[in-house]
């Protein structure tokens, strides 16, 4: 992204949490207006956003990864310790039925989502670091997500291992790499188009979150409030502990922000699919569904604040 983005791009970023909330409310009132966005279309939009981010990557960003193995490892470890344990503790202390408890723990055991990469991009964080953490946590999800879910929930969760790996390639690595290559090959054209990509990213995120709410409208209205409180606490503590623990391990402010966003945001779409396919009640899909809205709102607010509150040049 250019150093000086046009005002409409900055405005769209600042409005992101409000647009997501407005889209969620619209989805509850008129779900047919937005619930048409499903499955492969959602993956396609996420892929486009990753393509946009690939176009913003600088060669020095990739070189920097060689000097930050500790932040990558730290971020992945926190992803699979802080969030599952938070999910379990909240499920134990909050007045949720067993199906909602299972869904909360399941989404807490999922890897980081690609939306965290977008939020890092909008918050002026380390995009390359965020993508690396998302990629590694997603690949490890083949083992760790069912392991944590099976142990903490008591249900056996079956993952489509090849499908999860393929989705990682198609939604994260391929478009990101393509964007980076396009920028190197067609730098003059891409530099002219870069200013519109933040605004498009915001629109796509809003559409994706709203579509998930629209498709789950009845469940949201039935038992939405207890689940909403649960996922709000889950993500709030996740963002806070991600930042705090990164700081305690001696990371700089930019890395702290990146790890906070990575830890606090989950692959909620994966959580919805796993809940519907592997848990006995559709109620279990409600916490992952609400998770997508909640973490987007909190992360959007953090991204807006952190984008304004700049840190010294590295």
Q: Is residue 28 part of a domain?
A: yes
Average pLDDT over residues 287-293: 84
| 2 located within any domain | no
310 falls within a domain: no
Q: Do the domain assignments include residue 258? A: yes
- Report angle CA 133, 138, 142 to the nearest 5 degrees: 140
DSSP 3-state of 159: coil
| pLDDT tens sequence across 217-254 | 887 787 778 888 999 999 999 999 999 999 999 999 99
pLDDT band at 41 (very low <50, low <70, confident <90, very high): confident
Q: Which residue has the higher pLDDT, 205 or 60?
A: 205
Residue 62 lies in a domain: yes
CATH number of the domain to which 148 belongs: 1.20.1530.20
Residue 313 lies in a domain: no
Assign 211 a pLDDT band (cuts: 50, 70, 90): confident
pLDDT at residue 4 is higher than 50? no
**pLDDT single digits (tens) 59-103:** 665 666 666 688 888 999 999 999 999 999 999 899 888 888 888
Count: domains in the chain:
1
Q: Is residue 46 part of a domain?
A: yes
Q: What is the largest CA-CA distance in the chain?
A: 57
Q: For residue 1, tell me if it sits in a domain.
A: no
Q: What is the DSSP letter of 58?
A: -
pLDDT score, position 156: 47
- pLDDT in the model for residue 248: 95
Domain span including residue 92: 7-305
């Amino acid at each position: 992204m250019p150093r000086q983005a046009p005002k409409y791009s900055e405005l769209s970023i600042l409005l992101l949490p409000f647009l997501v909330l407005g889209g969620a409310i619209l989805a509850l009132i008129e779900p047919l207006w937005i619930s048409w966005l499903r499955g492969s279309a959602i993956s396609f939009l996420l892929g486009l956003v990753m393509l946009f981010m690939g176009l913003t990557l600088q060669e020095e960003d990739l070189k920097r990864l060689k000097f930050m193995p500790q932040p990558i490892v730290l971020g992945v470890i926190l992803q699979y310790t802080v969030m599952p344990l938070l999910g379990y503790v909240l499920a134990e202390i909050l007045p949720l039925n067993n199906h909602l408890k299972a869904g909360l723990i399941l989404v807490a055991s999922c890897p980081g989502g690609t939306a965290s990469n977008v939020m890092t991009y909008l918050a002026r964080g380390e995009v390359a670091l965020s993508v690396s953490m998302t990629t590694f946590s997603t690949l490890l999800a083949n083992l760790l997500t069912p392991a944590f879910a099976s142990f903490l929930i008591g249900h056996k969760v079956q993952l489509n291992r090849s499908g999860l790996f393929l989705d990682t390639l198609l939604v994260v690595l391929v478009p990101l790499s393509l964007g980076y290559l396009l920028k190197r090959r067609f730098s003059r054209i891409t530099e002219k188009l870069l200013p519109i990509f933040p605004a498009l990213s915001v629109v796509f995120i809003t559409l994706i979150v709203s579509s998930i709410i629209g498709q789950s409208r009845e469940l949201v209205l039935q038992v939405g409030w207890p689940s909403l409180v649960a996922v709000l606490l889950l993500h709030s503590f996740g963002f806070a502990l991600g930042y705090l623990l990164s700081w305690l391990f001696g990371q700089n402010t930019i890395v702290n922000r990146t790890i906070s966003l990575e830890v606090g945001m989950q692959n909620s779409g994966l959580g919805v699919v796993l809940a519907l396919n592997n848990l006995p009640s559709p109620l279990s899909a409600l916490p992952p569904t609400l998770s997508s809205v909640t973490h987007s709102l909190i992360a959007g607010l953090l991204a807006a604040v952190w984008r304004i509150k700049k840190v010294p040049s590295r």
